[in-house]
Amino acid sequence: MLASVSIAGAAFAILGIAIGLTSDDEGPPPVADVSATPTASAEPPPRPVVEPEPEPEPEPVSAVLGEVVVEDLSATSTGLYGSGHPGDGAVPTDQPAVDAFRDAIVAAVDAHLLDQQQGGDGTLATDAALPLADADRPVGTATIALRIGVRGTPEWARANVDVTLLDGATEHTELVFAPGEPPQVLAVSR
Amino acid sequence: MRAARARRLVAALAAATLLLAGSAVAVERYTVLPGGDGEVLTLLLLGSDEGPPRSTDITAGRADGFQILFVSGDRQHATFVSVPRDSWVSVAGSGNGRINNCLLGGGERCMATVEQVFGIEVDGYLATSMDAFKSAVDAFGGVTIDVAVPVSHGGADITTTGVQELTGSQTLTYGRDRKTRAGGDFTRSRSQAEILATAHQAVVADPAPDRILDTVSILRRHTVTDLTGPQLARLGFEALRLPPENVQRVLAEGVDAWVGRAAVVKLRDSAYATIKDAADDAQVG
């Protein structure tokens, strides 16, 4: 290996001398005042700088919200309270709170997938790894189906997460969230 | 670009359709997060008689169902201690009386009573009414019990013996009767714990995620509790860790006695020792 490198080096050296001699002896006459730029005509024009192609940024993951089932956890008509008792009435649903919880879960899953396809471990706090994608297997589509338990405000949500990677593989997990900023993972399927 | 979007949309719709069709994988194992704090969890499980006449307010009644549930910090062991409703104790805020009177002051007063009488910490309570109990059992799909002797109480009789699925009304009968079976109030207390342990076995035997959340929802809708919705959900998943064979059922022992004209139960020293023992590591013995 070393020998071949040396031979190649010698060959380039000889070639360089030959070019230099040729340049001195047989070069075309200067077309401009070389006194002002004595070396300009002797050197090749600078080549345009070619910037290396930037690494393509992973596309932001945008999970599609699938079915959303809101389950009313009021005690209405369960026999816990008699008909007409204040406790038997339905607890009015705080819809903006439900919507915010839903959006926060989708955002949390999005962030987890994006982090993983950028090479990270994911952002959902799950004690153990929850691999759904990675840098070599970016996400094609992700769908989240939600079941949200609500008693006035959200109390929990089960998220069915289905991921189809660009290589065609699929991943599935189920997460149970409690409200929080961000939503807290209560349980995760293995 | 438009074609790519269309492909993604089709894929997403396909996935959503699969979910809607119920083909989501039934996952059998869950990790509950974060891990337990290592402390024994102590809950009171109370069944209200809703007072005479039925007041439709469960805290206007007495706690005829009275179970103390201890769950170990690692959620690997649990013990139900069944406390006879007529146990004569010092009820928090109202002097000596039957322990079931505590519910007249709400679940919190029952917690205070148990803490004061037995010298343990209680983390929370769940109380239900008779109608809600029946409704909950029916929503759960019934409870399978091995009935030793026919039982009758208030109409929904259990006329045959052996393993059978009981309706909500029959399960209430099984948990209330203290006259057609030997042992009276003690047998009744044991039966209540048996029902709860059997329900736990059913949840563990069918751990599909929606089944767990169904059970959590049933608990939420059919009980008054000081636990939050997320706490109940966590408990539902933690219950999966608990092997049914590691669930003990013990009775707080006592003797029938009279206080004036009131028939009561005087708890034995062993009852106090049993409860202290269970509070230590959720195991007795």
A166 touches chain B (CB under 8 A): no
Nearest to B145 by CA among B186, B185, B202, B184: B202
pLDDT tens digits for B144-159? Answer: 999 999 998 877 899 9
Nearest to B217 among A73, A126, A143 (CB): A73
Mutate to test the interface with A, among B221, B225, B238 (most CBs of A within 10 A): B221
Per-residue pLDDT averaged across B173-196, rounded? 89
A143 touches chain B (CB under 8 A): yes
Which of A86-100, B14-28, B46-60, B200-214 is predicted with the least confidence, judged by mean pLDDT? B14-28
Q: How far is CA B17 from the centre of its chain?
A: 37
Q: Which two tokens stand for residue B17?
A: 């359709």
pLDDT tens digits for A1-38? Answer: 333 333 344 343 333 333 333 333 344 443 333 333 44
Q: Does residue B5 have a pLDDT over 60?
A: no
Which bin fits B261, alpha (ψ -120 to 50), beta or left (φ > 0)? Answer: alpha
What is the C-alpha to C-alpha distance for residues A165 and A119, in angstroms, rounded to an integer? 15
Q: What is the ipTM of this complex?
A: 0.80
Nearest to B58 among A67, A80, A172 (CB): A80
A168 touches chain B (CB under 8 A): no
% of chain B residues with pLDDT over 90: 66
Q: Which two tokens stand for residue A154?
A: 């959200």
Q: Which two tokens stand for residue A123?
A: 């952002």
Which residues on A lie below 8 Å from B24 (Cβ)?
A: 145, 160, 162, 172, 174
Nearest residue in chain B measured CA to CA from A142:
B12
The CA distance from B228 to the nearest CA of chain A, in Å, is 8
Q: Does residue A44 have a pLDDT over 80?
A: no
Mutate to test the interface with B, among A77, A105, A156, A175 (most CBs of B within 10 A): A156
Which residues on B lie below 8 Å from A171 (Cβ)?
A: none
CB contact under 8 A, A190 and B31: yes
What is the C-alpha to C-alpha distance for residues B131 and B134, in angstroms, rounded to an integer? 5
Nearest to A169 by CA among A145, A133, A144: A133
Q: Other C-beta atoms within 10 Å of A77: how many?
A: 12
Which residues on B lie below 8 Å from A156 (Cβ)?
A: 213, 216, 229-230, 233
CB contact under 8 A, B33 and A155: no
What pLDDT does residue B53 have? Answer: 55
Which residues on A lie below 8 Å from B58 (Cβ)?
A: 80-81
Calculate the CA dihedral of residues A61, A63, A64, A66 and round it to 10 degrees. Answer: 170
Q: Name the residue with tokens 């001398």.
A: A17
Rounded to 5°, the CA angle A44-A49-A52 comes to: 140
CB contact under 8 A, B30 and A187: yes
What is the band of B91 on the pLDDT scale with cuts at 50, 70, 90? Answer: very high
